[in-house]
Amino acid sequence: MKKTQAGMSLTGFLVGLAVVGFALYLGMKLIPMYQEYWSVKKALQGVARDDAVPADPVSVRQALAKYFDVGYVGSVKPENIKVERAGDASVISVDYEVRRPFIHNLDIVGKFSASEEKRTGAR
């Protein structure tokens, strides 16, 4: 009885390595975008819960700018922040887009949107 070895060929190994490398490269581009989005959501929640921050648009934008500095958020511009009155609350919303170069002339584009409600009265 003749025993033969079964396994992966060099070509199969290189193709598998290329697929894993591509997935890792894609992850290196996507993960920081989502980490920044989670920092934006955390900043919105922090401002919405902070009773020391008045609900007027100027104060909310200033407070968010401080949170963004601490959380290393650089993609959100002041024009991406909207503060609107809704009854006895203010709705703070952030809509922004992140564009990162991927391969040659291809970019990865992420569109993110988050909002929180800040109560102006007693809780």
The arithmetic mean of pLDDT across residues 83-109, rounded, is 92
Q: Tell me: the pLDDT tens digits for 23-70?
A: 999 999 999 999 999 999 999 999 999 988 888 888 899 999 999 998
| Rounded Cα–Cα distance for residues 35 and 77 (Å) | 17
Per-residue pLDDT for 81 more than 50?
yes
CA distances from 1 to 4, 74, 106 (A): 10, 67, 55
| Rounded Cα–Cα distance for residues 67 and 46 (Å) | 8
User: What is the three-state SS of 45-88?
Assistant: HHHHHCCCCCCCHHHHHHHHHHHHHHCCCCCCCHHHEEEEEECC
